[in-house]
Structure formats: C-alpha cells, structure tokens
Amino acid sequence: MDNYEAIVADIKAKLTEITDIGIVHDYERWIVDAKKFLDEFKDQTSGRILGWEITRKSVSEHQAGAFFGHNLMAVHGYMGLNDAAATGKLFQVVVNKVRAKFRKAEPADPNAPWDYRDGDNPQNSPVQVPLIDERMFGNNLCHHAEIHISVTERTL
C-alpha cells in the first residue's frame, strides 16, 4: 500500500472511532446530482447531514539523510444546520473531538514510516482548524469545518 493510501486509511479509522462523527469518506465526493450528493452525507442514526471527506492539500519534501515528506491533510466536515436544535454547539463539540483525537495520535501500525506531526514546525500541534463557517449544499444550510492534519513521512 502506498504511504498516501495508508495515511488516509489511518485517518479514516481514527475518525470513525469518534462518537457522533457521522459518515466518513476517504476522498472528496463530487456528485453532480444534489440529492445523491446529500444522501452520501446523511447520517442514518440522526437523519441529518453529518459527514466528512479526507484529502491532501499539499506535500513538501526535504532531505536530511532520508527524504521527509510533509503532508498537509485536509478533513472537511459538514453538519446540517438547525437553529432550534443548537447544531452550532453540537458541531463545535464534534470539531473538538477530532482535534483531541489527532493531538497526540500515532499511526495504528507502529512500523509506519510516518507520524502525526508538523515536521516543518515541530512546536505546533499536528492538528489545526483554519476555517469554520456555514455553506449551502443544494437547499441545505450546513456547518462546515476544514481541519488540517500534519503528517510527516520518511523515505530512505
């Protein structure tokens, strides 16, 4: 398995362990039909839109004996907005659960050639949330978060 595929699989596994996370896709979904798109994000437990997508935003590389790739993974989350149900608070709690999950995360495979850490800025937490906003999906207003997870891989 390629390192990228292993990293995405590990992130997905960690996300699915989180209570009330909803549906987790290991790639960005691009479905033209709005109803089919929304169905891919409809959580069967709650009946609301609640889903996540994983992708990579960038990768930089440097050499110091070995090659080190610094992957900036992006996890986009969506939750159907319902003011009466205070979903804004619920969504913030789920975002915090994701942050906590990856703050001190380690790969499931102890021999994996990568770690959850920001190799370019080791003092930073490996998880950052640069954007929380609201977005329209068809006729559905949703909470949205973009969560960045830094993964540094080493290649001999």
pLDDT in tens, 70-115: 999 999 999 999 999 999 999 999 999 999 999 989 999 999 999 9
- State whether the Cα torsion 103-124-22-48 is positive or negative: positive
CA distance 79 to 122: 32
What's the pLDDT at 88?
96
Three-class secondary structure of residue 17 per DSSP: coil
Task: Summarize pLDDT for 140-149 with one digit per residue, the tens.
Answer: 899 999 999 9
Average pLDDT over residues 7-21: 96
- Domains of the chain are 3-116 (3.30.2000)
Q: Could you tell me if 145 and 45 are in contact, meaning their C-beta atoms sit under 8 angstroms apart?
A: no
Q: Which among 151, 148, 133, 145 is positioned nearest to 52, based on CA atoms?
A: 145
pLDDT of residue 122: 83
The amino acid present at 13, given as its one-letter code, is A
DSSP state of 84: G
